[in-house]
Amino acid sequence: MNRRDSLKALGLTAISTTVLLEACKQPEAKTDVAAPEESTKEAGREQWELDRDKNLKSETFFTKHEMATITVLADIIIPKDEVSGSASDAKVPEFIEFIVKDIPEHKTPMRGGLKWLDVYSFNKFQKPFIEASADQQISIVDEIAYPKKARPEMQAGVAFFNRMRNLTASGFYTTEMGVKDIGYVGNAPNQWAGVPADVLKQYGMENVKI
């Protein structure tokens, strides 16, 4: 069955099929960060949105050192495992560079948090965070990754790590790699027939009716 036939089998009409075949095309670029593009015209976008994106993409916020630190942290938060790659495999640092410009409230807490991390690392190990050994890095992360048990004086680090963890998850699970990992299988034309029978049975919901 080719794609057109399978769409027909789903009960879609000729007009929807044509529109959907177009809409279902995966974007050509496999990169996980939208490539900088000409902001001339795009369907469904106001011109000011396109101009704004273009401006944001032309700016650079983080320094090389900051980006390297973000990369180490992101990969500590989401490392490669048997299911999927790491945060940096999914270009999470590049996403973070964009999003702090897009949502400027992130800028100071991120910059300041990275600085806090380096100062803490320097006081403890006489090295900035990225030059500390893997074990040393993890020992610092252990002090800021568990909000409830962290020592009160680590609160600035905890707040930074919370933000860094959230941005990393946002950046990772919104890529093709992350969506596959988490198992989201929607965003495709289908006929919704309700909860599968085995799942209803698993939760004892066979007899629940709305």
The candidate with the shortest Cα–Cα distance to 187, out of 197, 174, 198, is 174
Task: Tell me which stretch binds other proteins (CB under 8 A): 61-69, 71-79, 113-121, 125-133.
Answer: 71-79
∠ CA 120-124-130 to the nearest 5 degrees? 65
Closest contact distance (angstroms) between CB of 21 and other proteins is: 11
Residues 152-181, interacting with other proteins (CB under 8 A): 162, 165-166, 169-171, 173-176, 178-179, 181
Question: What is the C-alpha to C-alpha distance for residues 38 and 54, in angstroms, rounded to an integer?
Answer: 8
Closest contact distance (angstroms) between CB of 64 and other proteins is: 21
Closest contact distance (angstroms) between CB of 153 and other proteins is: 17
Based on its alpha-carbon atoms, the radius of gyration of the chain, rounded to whole angstroms, reads 22
Given candidates 1, 28, 64, 183, which one binds other proteins under the rule CB under 8 A?
A: 183
Given candidates 2, 15, 59, 153, which one binds other proteins under the rule CB under 8 A?
A: 15
Closest contact distance (angstroms) between CB of 132 and other proteins is: 16
Sign of CA dihedral 60, 63, 64, 69: negative
SS3 203: coil
Say if residues 32 and 90 touch (Cβ distance below 8 Å).
Answer: yes
Nearer residue to other proteins within complex by CB, 86 or 116: 86
Phi/psi for 63 (5° steps) reads -75, 170
Given candidates 9, 19, 119, 197, which one binds other proteins under the rule CB under 8 A?
A: 19
Given candidates 2, 13, 40, 58, which one binds other proteins under the rule CB under 8 A?
A: 13
134 C-beta neighbours (distance < 10 Å), count: 9
Residues 90-149, interacting with other proteins (CB under 8 A): 95, 98-99, 102-103, 141, 145-149
